């Protein structure tokens, strides 16, 4: 599908959806879907299966519902909402972009950050996520409703190279190759 302001909906089977255009909405519904799109201000809801989504654009929202999903997102100011499964996310800035993606925790995801100014969002109980490529120097941060000083004090260095953060609701975030955090890593 090519064009702006489109609504694309898969069915209960395994779908392949390719789209190009701005301000569109894509819903994978059931099955294990392959979704690819290029465009800004696009909303994608993966289906309940094990989906793969590849996206290039700015200010897009990609929601990984159930299943074990693979998401590859290039662009700035995107919102990535992880599902309840074991998702794998690759996020990077647009060429010459400013970054600013937000990744909302869920399930047991692994997120690879390749950009700047990314925010991992403590979205509620029940997640045990891992982030690779987190860089405070590149402007990355963690958003939590918890007190930043308390969260930092309750974090521990594991394996000598990583930091395990435990939030007030029991959810965890493992920052690979980050040896320690302080309150400045967090904001509300």
pLDDT in tens, 101-141: 999 988 899 999 999 999 999 987 889 999 999 999 999 99
What pLDDT score was predicted for residue 29?
Answer: 73
Whether 3 is in a domain gets the answer no
Report yes or no: 10 and 18 within 8 Å, Cβ to Cβ.
Answer: no
The list of the chain residues with pLDDT below 50 reads none
Whether 10 is in a domain gets the answer no
CA distance 101 to 93: 8
Whether 162 is in a domain gets the answer yes
Q: Which contiguous run of DSSP H or E holds residue 151?
A: helix 148-153
Q: Please name which of 48, 106, 46 lies closest in space to residue 73, comparing C-alpha atoms.
A: 46
Domain that holds residue 125: 23-182
What pLDDT score was predicted for residue 104?
Answer: 94
**Domain count of the chain?**
1
What pLDDT score was predicted for residue 28?
Answer: 79
- pTM given for the model: 0.92
Tell me how crowded residue 83 is: count the other CB atoms within 10 A of its CB: 21
Whether 8 is in a domain gets the answer no
Whether 175 is in a domain gets the answer yes
- Give, as one character, the DSSP assignment of residue 94: P
What pLDDT score was predicted for residue 36?
Answer: 92
Number of H helices, E strands in the chain: 1, 19
Whether 72 is in a domain gets the answer yes
CA distance 139 to 100: 9
Q: Kindly calculate the radius of gyration of the chain based on its CA atoms and give it in whole angstroms.
A: 17
Whether 67 is in a domain gets the answer yes
Output phi, psi for 137, to 5 deg.
Answer: -65, -25
What pLDDT score was predicted for residue 91?
Answer: 96
């Amino acid at each position: 599908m090519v064009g702006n302001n489109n609504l694309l909906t898969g069915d209960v089977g395994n779908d392949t959806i390719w789209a190009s255009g701005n301000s569109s909405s894509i819903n994978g519904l059931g099955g294990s879907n392959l979704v690819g799109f290029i465009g800004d201000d696009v909303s994608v809801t993966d289906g309940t299966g094990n989906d793969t989504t590849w996206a290039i654009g700015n200010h897009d929202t990609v929601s990984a519902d159930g299943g074990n999903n693979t998401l590859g997102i290039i662009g700035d100011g995107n919102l990535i909402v992880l599902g309840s499964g074991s998702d794998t996310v690759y996020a990077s800035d647009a060429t010459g972009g400013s970054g600013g993606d937000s990744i909302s925790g869920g399930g047991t995801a692994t997120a690879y950050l390749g950009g700047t100014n990314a925010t991992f969002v403590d979205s509620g109980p029940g997640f045990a996520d891992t982030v690779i490529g987190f860089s405070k120097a590149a402007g990355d941060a963690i958003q939590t409703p918890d007190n930043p000083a308390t969260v930092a004090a309750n974090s521990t260095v594991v394996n000598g190279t990583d930091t395990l953060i435990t939030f007030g609701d029991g959810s965890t975030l493992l920052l690979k190759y980050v040896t320690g955090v302080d309150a400045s890593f967090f904001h509300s």
